[in-house]
Structure 1
Amino acid sequence: MLIGVISQKSGFSRDTIRYYEKIGLLELHKKARRENNYKEYTPVILSRLRAIRELKMIGYTLQEIRQVIESYEIGNLDCMAGKEQVLEKIRLIDEQIQQIQTIKQQLSEAVAECPNHCKIIAILDQTITLEKGTYLSKCL
């Protein structure tokens, strides 16, 4: 398969496929080139792209995907260790959710005070002096 075909079948853009090659997520054999120097992608590459897509959809980063695939390929992917990794990922996601909820609350409070008091302008008034020596005074 040429890159256009594998792009269509995998759902990844050509640029993304090339990027994955560049960072080593996809490895083509040196014999994977045709006489005209076009790359020939195998069904194995398509399967790997589909696995990458699925892992990305459940929140894995490219670095984590690389580690999982490498562990799998050398037969060193252990379900219990994988479970611990997933539980750690869940813990990190919970932290991110808490941080986002805090930011949302702060923004909601800032909006609730408008137009009488603009928190954004208050922050800027406290920290940034305009070149003319004046401060912002309108609600954003």
Structure 2
Amino acid sequence: MLIGAIAQLSGFSRDTIRYYERIGLLGLPRKARRENNYKEYTPAILSRLRAIKELKAIGYTLHEIQQVIESYEVGGLDCVTGKEQVLGKVRLIDEQIRQLQITKRQLLEAVAGCPDHCKIIAILDQTLMQNG
């Protein structure tokens, strides 16, 4: 398959596929070129792209996907290890949510006194006027 066909079948753009190749996610062999120098994509590459899409859909980053695929390919990924990784990611998400809730609360407090008192302007007046 050429890149246009694999892009259509995978749902990724040509640029995304090329990017995944550059960062090593696809592992395309060097001899995957035709005589006219076009790359030949195998059904295995399509399967990998579909796996990448599904892992992205459940929240994995490209770096995490690469690690998971590499672990899987060398037989180092089992259900217990996978569960530990997922639970670690859930803990990270919980922390990010906590941080976002703090930021949200601070932003709401910043506009609570509007229009009589703008905390943003007060911060700028206090900090910029000291240096000005």
| TM-score normalised by the chain length of structure 2 | 0.93
- Identify unmatched segments of 5+ residues in structure 1: 134-140
Matched AA of 2:124: L
Q: Distance in 1 between matches of 2:129 and 2:23?
A: 45
Matched AA of 1:65: I
Q: Could you tell me the percent identity over the aligned residues?
A: 77
| Within-5 A mapping of 1:37-116 | 37-116=37-116
In the other structure, the counterpart of 2:119 is 119
Q: Distance in 2 between matches of 1:40 and 1:110?
A: 56
Q: Distance in 2 between matches of 1:97 and 1:86?
A: 16
Q: Distance in 2 between matches of 1:89 and 1:28?
A: 29
Matched AA of 1:47: S
- Identify unmatched segments of 5+ residues in structure 2: none
In the other structure, the counterpart of 1:9 is 9
In the other structure, the counterpart of 1:138 is none
Q: CA RMSD in A?
A: 1.6
Q: Distance in 1 between matches of 2:55 and 2:94?
A: 19
Q: Distance in 1 between matches of 2:67 and 2:5?
A: 27
Q: Which runs of 4+ in 1 moved over 3 A?
A: none
Q: Distance in 2 between matches of 1:116 and 1:10?
A: 54
